[in-house]
Structure 1
Amino acid sequence: MSLAATGDLVREAAAGGRAVAAFNIITLEHAEAVVAGAERVRTAVVLQLSENAVKFRDGQLLPIARAAAACAEAAAVPVALHLDHVKSPELLRQAADAGFASVMYDAAHLPYGENLEATRSAADWAHANGLWIEAELGEVGGKKGDAPLDPHAPGARTDPDEARRFVSDSGVDALAVAIGSTHAMTTRTAALDHALLARLAKALDVPLVLHGSSGLPDSELAAAVAGGIRKVNIGTALNVAMTEAIRSNLTGADPRPYLAAARTAMTATAAAMISALN
């Protein structure tokens, strides 16, 4: 099957009142597991590579991007490629030639005016090169080991009126909103601000994206989708499954047994979390 377009998958999910699961991958085993999990539940999915994952691979985007694309093209369900949390303009400009249908440009750490200016420039470039673009307003904490923001700290939640202006002025196709989730959570104990989500869904006419979703129980994920979330980013849940499987199977010098166990564990996790959204 040829590579799908992220925007098309999100629109199709929105039309059915669902959300697309978008999994951050680091290794080939991640990509294989996500595709296998999506095939198990017969549902489209997005494979995401973050700027941090590219840095881990010595800054080389193409080797892992080509591997992910090969997994997607061999899949029995639609699979799209998305370049996630990009801050580097140089990396952004590699996306179109590397098989990505979409990109999340991350300037949320900047003051509002600088975020808007940088995001508008990124959106102009993305659209000129056929890419669907996502941005973030408010800040979902927990990236790179940072402590999560206090839910009541300035900038920790997305303001609906500001979000409406930001989307209109930047021209982005989707917006990641900060409503109480946190990146890198290893327990599923977080709770969302569903009243704020309702206000955001009413204020905005672009798809809403939820980051930091690994820390949410199934009931919160389902409620987020019912409230208008149309793309759900998941990463840490895969890494937890992978690490636990490797720890349990780390014997001998051959890496294949423990990597196979890790892939099997991640497949089950991916299938379960996709099912929670649909």
Structure 2
Amino acid sequence: MSYVIHGATGAQGTPVLNRLKAAGKPVVAAARKAGTADDGTPVVAARYSSVDELTAAYEGADGVFVHLPIGPEEERAAYAGTIVAALSVARPGRVVVSTSGAVVDSPGSPLQAGADAAVPTLIRGLEETGLSYAVIAPRLFLENLLLPPVLDAVRAEGVLRYPLRADFPVSWSSHLDNADAAAALFDRTDITGTVAVGQHPGLTGPDIAAAFGAHIGRTVSYEPITPEEFGRQLSPVIGAGGAAGVAGLYAWFATATENTIAADNSAQRILGLKPRSAHQWLEEVGR
């Protein structure tokens, strides 16, 4: 019996895998090809497009951690279908899903994902399986602030440039906070539904700039930029297609007044887990 971790070499999956290993739980990484990772972790072939591979990976598992990869929405929706089909057959003991920032728990917000979007489709299908499950719902990841165009400007110029209004509060969280919540939810099988992960109340751009300033020992100001400019800065780093997608996401954020979680379904209330402050996170990641 083991825990199957999707994206175990990526930003979200790696901290979950490490957190479970530190707790002494047996883990298996789900990837395109089977083998053994450099640290000795077994790897099973589990392509999102293959119901058979996913079913084989999930069978007998104590738990599965899954999140949809970045890509075209129609492709992600198809993956949601194959994942649910495999879970329905394999029947693992527990499933924990990360929304990766898709908003699924704020129906009054313009940022709420549509019912037919990939992540809500995955959650709805998972609910229909009758399996024990929980959903982690972060908003924006602090790790986004480590992108070279962002971090370089902080260090070289003392300016945090980001495509959010200065008065726009966000329930920032780190991948480490997400992993803490995932590990807790694998043990807390009494909890079903959505658990929001992030700062409450939310932090604004100047708040984050102040945290950077405290970390590096100099004044850091905040300068909002347009989503289009952010996309141009990111294009050499993640490619034109990915940069365009990111720019579109932040343009969408501009339609709302905030991107924050509610207190009633927060990890703080449900799990007793307080997310790292921006300064704590910077100290921990050592940037």
Greater relative contact order (Cα < 8 A, sep 6+) = 1
| TM-score between the two structures when normalised by the length of structure 1 | 0.35
Q: Which has the larger radius of gyration?
A: 2
The structure richer in helix per residue is 1
| TM-score between the two structures when normalised by the length of structure 2 | 0.34
